[in-house]
Amino acid sequence: MVDRVVVGAIAGSFGVKGEVRLKSFCAMPEDIASYGTLYSEDGARSFTVTLTRPVKNGFAARLTDVATKEQADALKGVRLMADRHRMPDLPDDEFYHADLIGLEVRDTGGTLLGTVRAVQEYGAGDMLEIHGPGLKTTVLLPFTREAVPTVDLAAGRIVADPPEGLF
């Protein structure tokens, strides 16, 4: 499987001529159309995206091989992925969520806390969803400089200084 990053999702049809309502997860929302061919998560479908106009919470867009409202409706919920090598490099203190998932999380004393299962966005800031040994449920760790002072992608680990009582 090619290394890919989720960049958006199809929220349903827009109008009756085959356009889709597209949600962009990119920092610059309109960049979703600049990453070349986008793929469904299972890799079975590929699309070239042409943004037609901004709409509430996203864009109206045309996708290759989608010509009718019914075809657009059938794509509702499909998450779109771009090839990782097409993504821009990020500054040192920024990370793609896909890079954080699966990383080992240790506290400042070196004790294993778990691994990152997902990155959740709740509006006030990102949260790392951590699952690990001895945890009955996943723990949400704020993804802030105070709670996560070190992210070492090369070593595949995160050093966390979680708030008291979180783990």
Q: What is the mean pLDDT of residues 136-163?
A: 93
Q: What integer pLDDT is reported at residue 1 of this predicted model?
A: 42
Q: Specify the amino acid at residue 53.
A: R
Cα–Cα distance for residue pair 45/31, rounded to 1 Å: 20
Q: What integer pLDDT is reported at residue 139 of this predicted model?
A: 94
Q: What is the mean pLDDT of residues 38-63?
A: 94
Confidence of residue 27 (pLDDT cuts 50, 70, 90): confident
Q: Where are the domains of the chain?
A: 4-86, 97-160
Residue 8 scores a pLDDT above 90: yes
Annotate the chain with three-state secondary structure: CCCEEEEEEEEEEECCCCEEEEEECCCCHHHHHHCCCEEECCCCCEECEEEEEEECCEEEEEECCCCCHHHHHHCCCCEEEEEHHHCCCCCCCCCCHHHHCCCEEEECCCCEEEEEEEEEECCCCEEEEEECCCCCCCEEEECCCCCCCEEECCCCEEEECCCCCCC
Same fold, 4-86 and 97-160: no
pLDDT in tens, 51-87: 999 999 899 999 999 999 999 999 999 999 999 888 8
pLDDT in tens, 100-140: 999 999 999 999 999 999 999 887 889 999 998 888 899 99
Pick among 2.60.40.290, 3.40.50.280, 2.30.30.240, 1.10.287.130: CATH of 97-160: 2.30.30.240
Q: What integer pLDDT is reported at residue 98 of this predicted model?
A: 82
Q: What is the mean pLDDT of residues 29-55?
A: 94
CATH of the domain spanning 4-86: 2.40.30.60
Cα–Cα distance for residue pair 108/78, rounded to 1 Å: 39
Q: What integer pLDDT is reported at residue 2 of this predicted model?
A: 54
